[in-house]
Chains A and B, each alone.
Chain A
C-alpha cells in the first residue's frame, strides 16, 4: 500500500472501554473521540459490556429500530463484548491493553484504576475537574451546560435560559478528547513518554464559553442572554427564518442592503446607538425579510458581503447544494436500515474525505 492511500492513523491501535454504570453524556464524548480516530484509519476496538453499550438503545431511532445516535458515534469501529466484572474479562482486557497505543474510558468506571495504569496511554473522560472529587455527583449534559455558563447565554433575559440543540456539551468534549488523543500519539511517535489525557465536560464548556468570563473580568458585569435586546436576532421570512448577523464594519453594507432611509438616522450609526434603539431598528428591517425566500436573502446579502444566515433543519441540510457539491454527506450501507446518509469528518485532506464504515453489531 502506498502512502497516498493509507489512512493517516492506520498505524495506531486504540481501545474504547465501555464499562457499566457510566452517565450517557460521558459515553457520547468518549465514543465521538474514538469514532474520529477510527474514521481516520486507527484500529479502534470498542469493548462493550454484556447487553451492549446503552447508547445502542438511545434516541433518535431509525425506522427499523436501530439507534441513529449509536450508528453515528461508532462508525469504523470493531466491537468485542467483555464482562469486566469477572476475572476472565479483566484478563482479556489486560492482554488487549498491552498491545494498544491508547485507551479511552470514563472516570466513574469500575475499571478506571486498571486503565490508568495501562501501558497504553489513558485518555479519560470525566464530568468535573479532578480536584473537585465529584466523580459520583449526579449529572446530565443539561446540568453541565448550566454549570459551564452556556445555558445562561441563550434565550430572552426575562425568560428561562435555553440549551443549544444537539449534544453540544458531550460533543465539544469529544472533539477535545480527540485532540488530546492525537497529542498523546504524537508524543509517543516522537519517542517521548506520552502524557495521560484528562477531559472534563465542565472544563470544556467553560473554555468554550470564555467570552462570558472575559467580559465579566473586563467589565464587572457578566454577558448573558440578550434575546430581543441583541443586535443579532432571528427574523421570519417567506419560507422560514434568517439570522441577522453583521460586524461593526459591515453595518454600512447592511444598511444599504435593507435600503430604508430611516436607517440613515445617526442614532443607528454606532453599535451603542443601535443597541439603545434595537426595537425600532428591528421594526424597520423586519418587513424587508417577510416576502423574500431564504435563498433570495442569502444571495442578495452575500453579494454585498453581509453574513445573514438562513436557518436550515437537519432534513434540509441533506439537500444543501454546498454540502452535496463538497461530498460532505456520505452514503453508508447498513445491514438492516438500508442506505443511511450522514456527515463525514468535517475536513478534506488533499481533497480526500474519510468515508465512515457502519457501526459494529453486538456479538451474540
Chain B
C-alpha cells in the first residue's frame, strides 16, 4: 500500500468504549500502526456491554467492540503487575502516540503516565481524554455518555416546547461520539510538530468541554445578555420560519424546514404517504426528509456512503466519517480477539523470545481470556 498521512506512526492505545478507542481507530484509518492494550482483568467495556451470549469466547464477539476496534492489533498485558508495567514502558519507547481515557490518575499510579513515558521518549504525543479534563476541582468526576448531554448544556436546549430538558440517551451517548472527531485532528497536529521539532506534547481533552464547544454561539450570546431565554423549543430554530417533524398517513415522521410559514403543512402530511409527501415538498424546493431509523440506514447503500464497511469475517463495522482521495477504507484486520497479537508485537518490537513469552504467560502478565468472573 502506498504511503498514507500517518504511515510510520505507531499508537499505544489504552482507549476504551468510544471516546478513546475511536480516536485511535481514526488514527489507524490514516495509516498508523495501532496497538491496543487491554488486560484479562480489565477488558474494554464494549466487550462486555455487547456480550452476545454466554458461550466460550463471548468477549471476542461484541458488535460494539468490533465496530470500533477494527484495523488495530490487540495485546493483553496486566497493568497492575510490575512486569506488565515494565513491558508497556518498553513498548512506549517504540511509539509516537499514546491515547487513553482512563479515570484521572490510573496510569500515573501504574507508573505509565505522561511524566513516566515521556521521560524515556520525549517525542511522545500523549492524548489524555477525560470527562472533565486533567485539572480543576471536578477532574476526578466520572461520567457516562449522557451525563455530558446534561452538564455540557446540550440537554438544556433539547426538549419538547416548554417541557423538561432531554438527553441523547444510551443508544446515542452523543458527547462520546464527537470527541474523537476533534481529538484526532489535534493529535495529528501534534504529530506534525513532533516530527518537525522532536518534541511531543501532553494533550488534555475534556469531553464536557468538547460538547459545550458545540454551543459556542449560545454561550457567547449568554455572556452578552444573561437574560437571554434558553428554554426548550421543540424542533423550532431561531431565524427559521417553520420547522418540525410531521406525521404522515403511513405512520412515519418526516422532517420539514420552511422559509415561509405554511399552516396547511400538518394536514398535508397526515393526508399523504411519507415518501410521497417528501417528494412533493422537495419538488416545491422545500427541505424535507424521512426520519430514518437504523434499518432504513442499513438498507440505503447510497446514503451510507463510506460510513459502513464489512471486515473479512463479513461483520459490519465502522467506516469513515470523511473521504480522502474520494475513497473510504478497506478493513485490513477485524477487531482483535483479547490478546490476539501479544506475542507477535512483543517479538517484533521488543525482540522477545519463546522463553520470555512463556514466562509472562505463566505469571499471568499476558492472557487471552478474561479473569473478570461472571458478567
Interface residues of chain A, those whose CB is within 8 Å of chain B, are 3, 8-9, 36, 40, 58-63, 68-69, 71-73, 128-132, 137-155, 159-168, 171-172, 175-187, 189-190, 192, 195-200, 202-204, 206-218, 220-226, 230-232, 234, 236, 241-243, 245-248, 250, 298, 302, 305-318, 321-323, 325-326, 328-329, 337-338, 340-343, 345-351
Contact of A230 among B170, B223, B246 (CB under 8 A): B170
Query: What is the 8 Å Cβ interface bit string for chain B, positions 308-340, against chain A (1 contact, 0 not)?
Result: 100000001011111111100000000000000
List residues of chain B with CB within 8 A of the CB of A346.
182, 205-206, 209-210, 212-213
List residues of chain A with CB within 8 A of the CB of B256.
143
Task: Say whether B206 contacts A143, CB under 8 Å.
Answer: no
- Rounded to whole Å, the gap between the CB of B96 and the closest CB of chain A is 12
Task: Say whether A155 contacts B292, CB under 8 Å.
Answer: no
Task: Say whether A236 contacts B221, CB under 8 Å.
Answer: no
- Rounded to whole Å, the gap between the CB of A290 and the closest CB of chain B is 13
Contact of B253 among A62, A161, A212, A221 (CB under 8 A): A161
B350 interfacial by beta-carbon distance below 8 Å: no
User: Which residues 21-38 of B have a CB within 8 angstroms of A?
Assistant: 26, 30
Interface residues of chain B, those whose CB is within 8 Å of chain A, are 3-7, 26, 30, 45, 48-50, 52, 63-64, 67, 132-138, 140-160, 164-174, 177-178, 181-186, 188-193, 195-197, 199, 201-206, 208-210, 212-226, 228, 230, 234-235, 237-240, 243-247, 253-257, 282, 285-298, 302-308, 316, 318-326
Contact of A213 among B155, B169, B297 (CB under 8 A): B297
10 residue pairs, one from A and one from B, having the closest CB atoms? A165-B157, A216-B294, A222-B294, A309-B150, A129-B305, A146-B255, A140-B257, A179-B185, A309-B147, A195-B325
Task: Say whether B67 contacts A60, CB under 8 Å.
Answer: no
- Rounded to whole Å, the gap between the CB of B2 and the closest CB of chain A is 8
Q: What residue of chain B has the Cβ atom nearest to residue A23's Cβ? A: B287
Q: Which of A63, A152, A338 has the most CB of B within 10 A?
A: A152
Task: Say whether A146 contacts B294, CB under 8 Å.
Answer: no
List residues of chain B with CB within 8 A of the CB of A224.
171, 293-294
List residues of chain B with CB within 8 A of the CB of A164.
154, 157-158, 168, 174
Task: Say whether B171 contacts A212, CB under 8 Å.
Answer: yes
Task: Say whether A214 contacts B238, CB under 8 Å.
Answer: no
List residues of chain A with CB within 8 A of the CB of B135.
325-326, 348
Task: Say whether A243 contacts B149, CB under 8 Å.
Answer: yes
Q: What residue of chain A has the Cβ atom nearest to residue B45's Cβ? A: A247
Contact of A153 among B155, B156, B168, B219 (CB under 8 A): B168
Q: How far is the CA of A36 from the CA of B226 in the complex (A)?
A: 26
User: A61-B221, A234-B164 given as contacts; is B294 within 8 A of A309 (CB)?
Assistant: no
Task: Say whether B203 contacts A349, CB under 8 Å.
Answer: yes
List residues of chain A with CB within 8 A of the CB of B323.
130, 197-199
Task: Say whether A215 contacts B158, CB under 8 Å.
Answer: no
20 contacts between A and B (CB under 8 A): A60-B218, A62-B221, A138-B286, A143-B289, A152-B253, A155-B166, A175-B185, A203-B304, A213-B297, A215-B171, A215-B294, A306-B142, A308-B147, A311-B153, A313-B156, A314-B157, A322-B132, A325-B137, A348-B203, A349-B203
List residues of chain A with CB within 8 A of the CB of B158.
154, 162-165
Q: How far is the CA of A165 from the CA of B155 in the complex (A)?
A: 7
List residues of chain B with CB within 8 A of the CB of A328.
206, 209, 212
List residues of chain B with CB within 8 A of the CB of A184.
5, 324
- Rounded to whole Å, the gap between the CB of A32 and the closest CB of chain B is 9
Task: Say whether A8 contacts B189, CB under 8 Å.
Answer: yes
Q: What residue of chain B has the Cβ atom nearest to residue A168's Cβ? A: B214
List residues of chain B with CB within 8 A of the CB of A60.
217-218, 221, 228, 238
Q: What residue of chain B has the Cβ atom nearest to residue A9's Cβ? A: B189
Q: How far is the CA of A347 from the CA of B50 in the complex (A)?
A: 31
Q: How far is the CA of A36 from the CA of B182 in the complex (A)?
A: 9
Task: Say whether A341 contacts B297, CB under 8 Å.
Answer: no
List residues of chain B with CB within 8 A of the CB of A9.
189
Q: How far is the CA of A211 from the CA of B50 in the complex (A)?
A: 11
Task: Say whether B5 contacts A183, CB under 8 Å.
Answer: yes
Task: Say whether A59 contacts B153, CB under 8 Å.
Answer: no
Q: What residue of chain B has the Cβ atom nearest to residue A132's Cβ? A: B302
Task: Say whether A176 contacts B6, CB under 8 Å.
Answer: no
List residues of chain B with CB within 8 A of the CB of A186.
5-6, 30, 188, 191-192
Q: How far is the CA of A226 from the CA of B293 in the complex (A)?
A: 13
Q: How far is the CA of A166 from the CA of B192 in the complex (A)?
A: 32
List residues of chain A with CB within 8 A of the CB of B64.
211, 214
Task: Say whether A208 contacts B178, CB under 8 Å.
Answer: yes
Q: How far is the CA of A150 from the CA of B154 in the complex (A)?
A: 14
Contact of A172 among B141, B144, B181, B239 (CB under 8 A): B181
Q: What residue of chain A has the Cβ atom nearest to residue B209's Cβ? A: A346
Task: Say whether A206 contacts B303, CB under 8 Å.
Answer: yes
Task: Say whether B149 contacts A309, CB under 8 Å.
Answer: yes
- Rounded to whole Å, the gap between the CB of A187 and the closest CB of chain B is 4
Q: How far is the CA of A146 from the CA of B321 in the complex (A)?
A: 17
- Rounded to whole Å, the gap between the CB of B44 and the closest CB of chain A is 13
User: A147-B290, A180-B324 given as contacts; is B239 within 8 A of A340 (CB)?
Assistant: no
